[in-house]
Chain A
Amino acid sequence: MSLFSVLNVASSALTAQSYRLNVVASNMANANSATSSDGQPYRAREVIFAAQPFANAGAPAGVNGVRVAGVISKPGPFKMVYQPGNPLADKEGYVKMPNVNPVDEMVNMISASRAYQANVNVMNTTKSLLQKTLSLGA
């Protein structure tokens, strides 16, 4: 039944988008983490998506799901904040803060949640189509 693979495609997108939301949440939560387990300030993370053809035999051609290909640390300089009282401050009194840009993160969050909603819509529509197909002739 061909419509079932629509559900697989949409669910792969839901997984990927919720992964992205998780990463955004991590970035926002750590926007002020001046140190981390490796002693360096937190670096903003970003997910990379990749189109993923289905591997199983009966899969329709040309139909790609989506997967998270990886999570990268964003390059870019740390913010220098003048906090002479901070134990992490350097000789001039500056503390290195994470390179998290809250505006970027908000945009990412809105984009991810809209994409999530779109895919939920796809699933709902497909579900009702499948149910109507099941009751064909009635």
Chain B
Amino acid sequence: MSGLLDQALDPLAAALKVTGYRQQLLSANIANANTPNYRAVDIPFAQVMQAVQAGDKGSLPLTTDSNRQFTETGNNASMAAFVQYQRGSQVGLDNNSVDMNREQADFLQNSVRYQADLTFLTGKIKTLTSAITGTTA
């Protein structure tokens, strides 16, 4: 139950949220590249994206006392539940599994994705503005 604006913007907002979270995990891996016993973490993007979009609403549903109110729950899928250790990296003598090349490549890729999301979102906003004002932007 959502309006045109939500339909247009929600998927991209969800993508931004997931990419932003992944960016944090990857930066934590880079920060801990020299920490003994640290294991690199990551999230499976596709699965988390599906969960967030399906509205695997984690917490705080809106309470309603009239049937004309929105029953929407907060789109707070707990992405933290999807955090898992990265597989396939070699574990060093200090029991640290951060592969710096892989992390930097992933980090770069993820930030390009984030920028792409922002670009698409800007495009959507411009389209909608143009539709609302009736001018060609």
A residues in contact (CB < 8 Å) with B: 2-3, 5-6, 9-10, 12-13, 17, 20, 48-51, 60-66, 111-112, 115, 118-119, 121-122, 125-126, 129, 132-133, 136-138
Contacts and interface: CB of A to CB of B under 8 A. Distances in A.
Given A10-B31, A12-B31, A13-B31, A136 B118 contact: yes
A3 B4 CA distance: 28
B89 interface: no
23 contacts: A2-B24, A3-B23, A10-B27, A13-B32, A17-B34, A49-B35, A51-B37, A60-B21, A62-B28, A62-B41, A66-B31, A66-B32, A66-B34, A118-B104, A119-B31, A122-B107, A125-B107, A125-B111, A126-B27, A126-B111, A129-B111, A129-B118, A132-B115
Given A49-B35, A136-B121, A122 B27 contact: yes
Contacts of B36: 48-50
B104 A2 contact: no
Given A61-B80, A62-B80, A64-B28, A138 B33 contact: no
A65 B28 contact: yes
Contacts of A20: 34
A120 to B, nearest CB: 11
